[in-house]
Amino acid sequence: MIDLSARYNPQETEDKWLKVWKASNVFHAAANVKKKPFTIVIPPPNITGILHMGHALNNILQDILIRYKRMKGFETLWMPGTDHAGIATQNVIEKELAKEGKKRQDLGREEFLKRLWAWRQEYGDTIIHQLEKLGSSCDWSRTRFTMDENYSQAVKEVFVRLYEKGLIYRGERIINWCPRCQTALSDEEAEHQEKNGKLYHIRYPFKNNPKEGVIVATTRPETMLGDTAVAVNPKDSRYIKLIGRILVLPLVGREIKIIADDFVSAEFGTGAVKVTPAHDPNDFVIGQRHKLEMINIMHPDGRLNEQAGKFNGLDRFEGRKRVIAALDMEGYLVKTEDHKHAVGHCYRCDTMVEPYLSKQWFVKMSPLAKPALKAVKNGTIKIYPEHWQKVYTNWMEDIRDWCISRQIWWGHRIPVWYCVGDEACQLKCKEPIVSKTTPEQCPHCGSKNLRQDEDVLDTWFSSWLWPFVTLGWPKDNADLKYFYPTHTLLTASEIIFFWVARMIMAGYEFMGQPPFSEVFIHGTVRDSRGRKMSKSLGNAIDPLEIIDQYGADALRFSLIINSGQDIFISKEKFEIGRNFANKIWNAARLIFTNCGPALEAGDYETLDVKALDLPSRWIISRFYETLDKTSKAIETFRYSEAENLVQDFFWGSFCDWYLEFIKGKFTDIHVQKTALFILKNSLKLLHPFVPFVTEEIYSKMNTKDSCLSVVSWPSLPWPVSQDRQKSLIDTDAFEQMQTVIDVIWAIRNIRTQWNVKPQDSVDVVLVPVNRQQEQLLEKNQGDIQRLGKVKTLTIDSKVQTVKDAASVVVNALKVFIPLGVLVDLAAEKKRMSQEVARKQKTMEGLQTRLNNPVFVDKAPRDVISKEKDRLSALGKDVKELQTVLANLS
């Protein structure tokens, strides 16, 4: 006899199964030609990460899919791992150092990196353990890291290949510079935020007429210190005659020319633009067109430099204030206006980014984008929900080169060396040496005095290789052949450009194949007020706390069933999953305590369909119906719908109706077998959603399976054979059962209406409309009696009316409950009249429609006949109701 506690205890169960899964290595995947592969690569969380709801959502979705596919018989690989997250991780360590009053430069590169690796050793897998607690069925034996040895090899390989193809180049450009992190960022890493700023109008005087001048407008007045021209539109009549004249830059005294450039729009501001080629991307381009001098006025840390004259050494924001004050004092500041504009911010530290001139490495993107764009456009790679396709293609079509060098230490060092050489050969050796291995000597002059590029690569320059490097690339091995291309990628919208798009490009470039065939973009987890969950807002719900309090299954189930486009969640919502897990537990408890003989015999795999009663045939049909719909929902990423389906089936049909029907009939071995059959198959169906509680119950079901995680998904009967289809999916059973349920519902309804005490029984008279219905009711008489708390149940088709009874008509079937004094006849009359009136109104509408010749002429036949059926059914009901009403006295 199996004894279960009255409440499901998640903690115990989860610990147990995490150990079992690990010990038996059930999630390990290996190339297996007998099976089809199904591969997912995890979006690798940062090693600095601690599990938040976003991770939880992402990984639960992946786990549902991978568990489903595993049960469907695929050789499933879910590849786990972490990302070194260059800037983010370096920032963490730098903060630690700061507490000791040190900077990374105090330690030196080597020591600093040692410290980083030590940190990685100690804390880098925290997130991995947290992902395990969710129940994630990754192949943990394969856990990868973006700075593993082979990963470094791959990154170098990629760099060298792209360089040799001419797709990587070094150049001096205006890039996004974070003065706090002191590194270049890519365009994607600079997040634009709308800010209320000022637009300053400044007069630049003519050299030969200092009283007059040209007024320019700027949002960053301090950059005027680096101005080398003023530009106007060549067609702007106000300025045409001024082109070529010389101005004197206020505060600085530099003479600058008025130039004409099409970029300038006459409409904005004053129509004249100050040109600062070293501090603005547009000005840089103008500067190149007009061969202007580029004057850098800023230190890498954001302080103004010696080029700023008396402002030298001031922080950029302080410098701005002082420049404005000085301009104002000397009479050059004409006016100041409020101005809204978008300013870039560092995505890692939120510092305002500075457009900054520096020498960086870039990847030329448009050749890489071509096949990646095509793949999505022609459906080779599908992106769901579909509207994200457009976001992807828009970005791809307008792709810009990717700045990949970072002036930090944590990351893949750029595999480029420069010859420091001897004096004589300096000219020849300007070409950088790009190599997968550390070169011994300069190929040009033979000098052994080489210096490696100080910079490291953008984190995403390694992440974009994730789907194939984790499988062993650049080595061509069996895993890579078998598991690549992977199948589904599940991720959040934030990293479509950073990661998804670039992976597709890398897949085509280095593997000649797409990295995956479908991408599902899921929503963002928000709090109940719609705000993004974040530590700084203090609205974050810690998934680990939820696991402690409600269990991992509860976290999983609740999060997913609440998922729409975005997910709005508050703590109470997790009760949904906890309650459901407990419901499953208790259903099992009931079945185990009552189905001992069949359970011990282990004999409930197949059922003798002919021996089954209506509720059994019905629940089996409901199961297969649910199975079909749920499978389809999972495969089309409708996860919350899938959970609704299984919950509705298990709770709403199996527990609320079936188990209630069979109470008291457990002596029947067929009933025992059916209950066990449905329970067992339900556990399979539920397993991807709530793996722990289902494993635990399944383990008590006397099967030979080592664990539920690896058993087969229940199969649909209908492709097997027509016979089985007929017997298992019984559409008649749906209809018949509905009638029985309706009768019980009607009885319960009347009981509540007339305040019959729950402990009191009532008498009921049922008047069936035909012989079939009569038989149906007779067969299920016992159930109706028990569930409706009926003392005497009379089934008699000849009864016209019953005295002092409340009554309901369901599909022409009359239900009478003689309640004697309990019934207020007047009130009952009123209630029934209202019912008649309501039905008659619907009938009128139908009648009008059916009388409309245009409708009859144009509407499809089946619609018309359906409407006719409805009308006649209503007509019957009304007729019956009226008979009852007439006899009510």
Partner RNA sequence: GGGCAAGUAGCUCAGCUUGGUUAGAGCAUUUGAUUUACAUUCAAAAGGUCGAAGGUUCAAGUCCUUCCUUGCCCACCA
Near RNA in 754-793, by CB under 7 A:
758-759
Nearer to RNA, 41 or 576 (CB): 576
Whether the CB-CB separation of 511 and 375 falls below 8 Å is answered with no
Nearer to RNA, 641 or 763 (CB): 641
Residue 866 makes contact with RNA by CB under 7 A: yes
Q: Which stretch binds RNA (CB under 7 A): 57-65, 79-87, 266-274, 298-306?
A: 266-274
Residue 840 makes contact with RNA by CB under 7 A: no
Distance (Å, whole) CA 426 – CA 34:
61
Cis preceding-peptide flag for 597 (omega within 30 of 0): no
Q: Can you tell me which of 39, 491, 582, 631 binds RNA, judged by CB under 7 A?
A: 582
Nearer to RNA, 149 or 267 (CB): 267
Distance (Å, whole) CA 241 – CA 483:
69
Q: Can you tell me which of 109, 192, 535, 700 binds RNA, judged by CB under 7 A?
A: 192
Residue 734 makes contact with RNA by CB under 7 A: no
Residue 154 makes contact with RNA by CB under 7 A: no
Looking at residues 479 to 508 of the shown chain, list those that interact with RNA (rule: CB under 7 A). 493-494, 497
Q: How many residues bind RNA (CB under 7 A)?
A: 92
Nearer to RNA, 281 or 432 (CB): 281
CB within 8 Å of 275: residues ≥ 6 apart: 227, 228, 229, 230, 231, 259, 283, 286, 287, 292
Residue 852 makes contact with RNA by CB under 7 A: yes
Of 577, 651, 589, 597, the C-alpha closest to 619 is 651
CB within 8 Å of 636: residues ≥ 6 apart: 384
Tokens read off for 411:
């990351």
Residue 667 makes contact with RNA by CB under 7 A: no
3-state secondary structure (DSSP) of residue 198: strand
Q: Which stretch binds RNA (CB under 7 A): 54-62, 100-108, 540-548, 641-649?
A: 641-649
Looking at residues 285 to 344 of the shown chain, list those that interact with RNA (rule: CB under 7 A). 339, 341-342
- Judge residue 287's burial from the number of C-beta atoms within 10 Å of its C-beta, 0-12 exposed, 13-18 middle, 19 or more buried: buried
Whether the CB-CB separation of 565 and 553 falls below 8 Å is answered with no
What's the min distance (Å) between Cβ of 538 and RNA?
A: 17
Of 63, 62, 129, the C-alpha closest to 709 is 63
Q: Tokens 């890519």 map to which residue?
A: 186
Q: Which stretch binds RNA (CB under 7 A): 78-86, 114-122, 279-287, 329-337?
A: 279-287
What's the min distance (Å) between Cβ of 778 and RNA?
A: 22
Q: Can you tell me which of 578, 617, 622, 665 binds RNA, judged by CB under 7 A?
A: 578
Q: Which stretch binds RNA (CB under 7 A): 42-50, 588-596, 773-781, 878-886?
A: 588-596
Nearer to RNA, 185 or 504 (CB): 185
Q: Can you tell me which of 116, 214, 264, 790 binds RNA, judged by CB under 7 A?
A: 264
Residue 745 makes contact with RNA by CB under 7 A: yes
Distance (Å, whole) CA 192 – CA 195:
9
Residue 611 makes contact with RNA by CB under 7 A: no
What's the min distance (Å) between Cβ of 633 and RNA?
A: 10
Residue 652 makes contact with RNA by CB under 7 A: yes
Q: Can you tell me which of 31, 107, 167, 199 binds RNA, judged by CB under 7 A?
A: 199
**Type of residue found at 160:** V
Q: Can you tell me which of 644, 702, 725, 833 binds RNA, judged by CB under 7 A?
A: 644
Q: How many CB atoms lie within 10 A of CB 389?
A: 18
Instruction: State the binding string over 378-417 for RNA (x if CB under 7 A, else -).
Output: ---------x--xx--xx----------------------
Tokens read off for 505:
């490009």
Q: How many CB atoms lie within 10 A of CB 194?
A: 9
Distance (Å, whole) CA 710 – CA 699:
12
What's the min distance (Å) between Cβ of 880 and RNA?
A: 14
Nearer to RNA, 386 or 423 (CB): 386
CB within 8 Å of 501: residues ≥ 6 apart: 372, 392, 395, 396
Distance (Å, whole) CA 887 – CA 885:
5
Cis preceding-peptide flag for 758 (omega within 30 of 0): no
Q: Can you tell me which of 244, 530, 538, 820 binds RNA, judged by CB under 7 A?
A: 530
What's the min distance (Å) between Cβ of 224 and RNA?
A: 9
Phi and psi at residue 314, to the nearest 5°: -80, 145
